[in-house]
Amino acid sequence: MKKTIVFLGPPGAGKGTQAEKLKKAYGFVHISTGDILREAVSKGTQLGKIAKKYMDEGKLLPDDLIIGIIEEKLKELPDANIILDGFPRTVGQAEALDKLLEKLGRKLDAVILFDISDQEVIRRLSGRRIDPKTGKVYHIEFNPPPKDVDVIQREDDKEEVIKKRLSVYHSQTSPLIEYYKNQNKLFVVDASKSPEDVYKEITSVLKL
């Protein structure tokens, strides 16, 4: 059966960075709800117009909307090994995912919890920069962009929105830790380490 993995953790924990590594090395399909929404915003679609309001304020979009997007994506990818990054983010989304996977004949193999302090998240998010042409993610201190690449800062990586996103994570998303512990699916990695060390922990947990 095809693998389905969830990356759980606060914004800025390094989920996207690690998902890209696993994509390159093992061909996982990286599904990031944040990336899907940002693309919709930049294209100015109906979804993008709705999403922008929530994202700029660091709030979560309504569950129904996000679940619909994920359902569509998963249906398109019956034969892929998948990493879900940034979804689920509420208990409602997690329950919907369980049902959806069952309907599609898949099962959730593992949930990787990126364990990291708020202080470190703030350092990572405030220094995060993106190459708008390729979507590649850099950090002004930890992974500086090449001189010839013009990077931008995400609107929601500004200090006030970072604080809001962290509080949303603690109130709405962190209950998923208990949810997946109860399903015996939760594996914790120390996300404060270097990208290489975090990668080693994840590949070891996933027995890759």
Question: In the complex, which residues of this chain contact ligand ADP (CB under 6 A)?
Answer: 11-17, 124, 127-128, 137-139, 142-143, 194-195, 198
The pair phi, psi for residue 192, each rounded to 5°, is -85, -10
| Residue 66 in the binding site for ligand AMP (CB under 6 A) | yes
Instruction: Extract the runs of DSSP E, i.e. beta strands, from 137-179.
Output: 137-139
Residue nearest ligand AMP, Cβ-based:
34
Task: Please choose which of ligand ADP, ligand AMP, none residue 124 contacts, taking the beta carbon within 5 to 8 angstroms, the exact cut-off set by kind.
Answer: ligand ADP
Selected binder of ligand AMP within 6, 9, 34, 74 (CB under 6 A): 34
| Residue 9 in the binding site for ligand AMP (CB under 6 A) | no
How many chain residues interact with ligand AMP (CB under 6 A)? 17
- Which residue matches tokens 């693309």? 39
| Residue 17 in the binding site for ligand AMP (CB under 6 A) | no
Determine the Cα–Cα distance for residues 82 and 137; give it in Å rounded to an integer.
Answer: 20
Q: Provide the b/e sequence for 148-187 (b: ≥16 CB within 10 Å).
A: eeebeebebbeeebbeebbebbeebbeebbebbeeeebbb
| Residue 6 in the binding site for ligand AMP (CB under 6 A) | no
Residue 73: in which H helix or E strand, if any? helix 63-76
Give 59: exposed, middle or buried? Use CB within 10 Å, 0-12, 13-18, 19+.
Answer: middle
Task: Please choose which of ligand ADP, ligand AMP, none residue 13 contacts, taking the beta carbon within 5 to 8 angstroms, the exact cut-off set by kind.
Answer: ligand ADP
Task: Please choose which of ligand AMP, ligand ADP, none residue 87 contacts, taking the beta carbon within 5 to 8 angstroms, the exact cut-off set by kind.
Answer: ligand AMP
Q: What tokens were used for 143?
A: 């992974």
Determine the Cα–Cα distance for residues 75 and 71; give it in Å rounded to an integer.
Answer: 6
Active site residues: 15, 89, 128, 154, 165
| Residue 61 in the binding site for ligand AMP (CB under 6 A) | yes
Task: Please choose which of ligand AMP, ligand ADP, none residue 47 contacts, taking the beta carbon within 5 to 8 angstroms, the exact cut-off set by kind.
Answer: none
Selected binder of ligand AMP within 54, 138, 142, 187 (CB under 6 A): 54
